[in-house]
Amino acid sequence: MAHEHLYSYWSVLYPDDNGQRLKDFIKEIDACKQTINQEPNEPEWYKDAVVYSLYVDLFGQNFPGLIQKLGYLKNLGITCLWLLPVLDSPMKDAGFDIRDYRMIRKDLTGLQSGLPDEEHLSVFKNFITQANEHGIKVIFDIALNHTSNEHSWFQESRKSPDNPYRKFYIWNNDDKKYGQCRLLFKGMCPSNWEKDGEWYYFHRFFEYQPDLNYRNPDVLLAMCRNLLYWLEFGIDGFRADAIPYLWKQEGTDCENLPETHIIVKFIREVLDCVRPNTLLLAEACQPPYQVVKYFGDNDECNAAYHFPLMPQIFKSLALQSNEPLIYTLSTKVTPVKPKGCQWFIFLRCHDELSLEHVYVSEKDRKYIYENYCHKSLWDFRVGEGISARLAELLEKNPQKILLAFSIMFTLPGTPVIYYGDEFGKLNDENYYFQKITETGHNDTRFLVRGKIDWVKLNTDLSNHNSFSSQIFNIVRSMVNTRNKSKAFRRGNIEWLKTDDNILSFIRSYKEERFLILHNLSQQSKLLSISDFTTTIPKQDIINQKIYFSAPEKIIIPPLGFFWFNINFPVN
């Protein structure tokens, strides 16, 4: 039977439904597949990507402005753009509060707002075409768990308990239901319920972001239709925001429930039916043993963020020890993933340096917070996060910033660069206070946003001694070197036994072999690499000069790192 998986998933989620609406939807899927003018993506393309995440307005003002910056991104070596929220929104939560799933924010098109929607959408479609011509794929954020309270669905649902959209959300006559759900925005939202007239509606995030009710099959079908809509524009994938919370069940914490995984399987099957190898990226802020379940049997998400790796990178730098990193990537913490799936790794995301107890112990949370929250202003969620950019966290030390980048680019996984970190962008306090005034919320994550001053940046990058140049030029070399070798993108990792202060390993793929050395300490280290190569070049493959203490020993400077090509078997 065609689409048998969809029927199977449906029967689990909605056993009392007669299935007619699913049959009608499957006809829509088949019609969409016939009309869509997009070639399938390459299998597992996301494993070879270097991802760059940005807010369109803060990076390039609008999509025409972003088109002008595609050359900058291509020069940097970027192969995939992750557009932080671009769908129509009142912008109370940086666009994660979606008002219309079928419309791009009109302020991002560069056109007058009164023009027909089709003209605004054509600007977006042209941007995707231009990005693809630069060899850059495009994915964007979509919140599956909740909408804005200004969404037409929610506005209808408020009208009366009999309104057909009432069941698109979770309404109750008191705030006692789902009492075991934790507060995700501790310190900002006192409850998961918000009163509206004589009723309450449920929300896991801000009170203006009501949760959708996936117990209603019409919600699942509506969301799938929204995804299919954007496939016709040439979108290469979706970052599924807040994916662990989709299904709610009384008597549970409403996280990672079995029905949530069935929903994800359903969505993945729909995408693969229409455009195979469309990326579905899980934003599951959970420990790896939970996150790996969102890969399913290679039938849920293609990729997922490795959230605990980020804080452990910072812990390793503070401790000057490789142990936190090696332990986190061991099977004691990170289970083996399905072969076709991928971890996405990062130093900074669009949010904070997250220290949620769900994947960070209280001891580690306290240690990392004390070592990196250099200003009380940076506090997020009462100590469960630090709102600061990479350069701020690492105290504007170019060598330490580059060391962190080197670790990310050489570990297994797809690296994500947060816009501006490649040149050491700092926190923007002016933007922070401006957004508090505009939104009425003291959200310290506004600190890590802010616009790029391109005039100043171009001046700084033309000066090779500037802070920005010192970071940008070597980051660009790392990215482009990584892009040339599958060992970094798809290869195995072999940890080497050295001093605890040195993070050393071999990345290998078929005939490619690379020796990677990171000195986590503040002192120079001597290391013999004669066991790995008989010839030590004067420069490593990212053009860093090598210094010797003896013919067989190299000097790794404080916070230094080297990438060596050793493309022959090690005894």
241, 356, 392, 428: which one is catalytic?
A: 241
Look at residues 181, 292, 309 and name the one whose alpha carbon lies nearest to residue 245.
181
Rounded distance between C-alpha atoms, residue 399 and residue 540, angstroms: 16
Class of residue 48 by CB neighbours under 10 A (exposed 0-12, middle 13-18, buried 19+):
middle
Report the amino acid identity of residue 136: I
269, 283, 300, 392: which one is catalytic?
A: 283
* Residue 566 token pair: 């050793």
Q: Answer for the pair 247, 257: CB distance below 8 angstroms, yes or no.
A: yes
Ranges assigned E (strand) in 76-189:
80-83, 87-88, 100-104, 137-143, 171-172
* Residue 349 token pair: 């995301």
* Residue 385 token pair: 């996060």
Distance in angstroms between the alpha carbons of the first and the last residue of the chain: 53
Rounded distance between C-alpha atoms, residue 533 and residue 511, angstroms: 15
Task: Kindly list the distances between the CA atom of residue 323 and the CA atoms of 245, 332, 502, in Å, as whole numbers in the listed order.
Answer: 32, 13, 10
Rounded distance between C-alpha atoms, residue 485 and residue 529, angstroms: 21
Strands 525-528 and 553-556: antiparallel
* 386 CA to centre of own chain: 17
Which residues partner with 301 through β-bridges?
none
Rounded distance between C-alpha atoms, residue 422 and residue 398, angstroms: 11
Look at residues 202, 192, 216, 207 and name the one whose alpha carbon lies nearest to residue 171.
202
| Percent of the chain that is helix, strand, coil (3-state, to 5) | 40, 20, 45
User: Is 241 part of the annotated catalytic residue set?
Assistant: yes
User: Is 194 part of the annotated catalytic residue set?
Assistant: no
Which residues are part of the catalytic machinery?
Answer: 241, 283
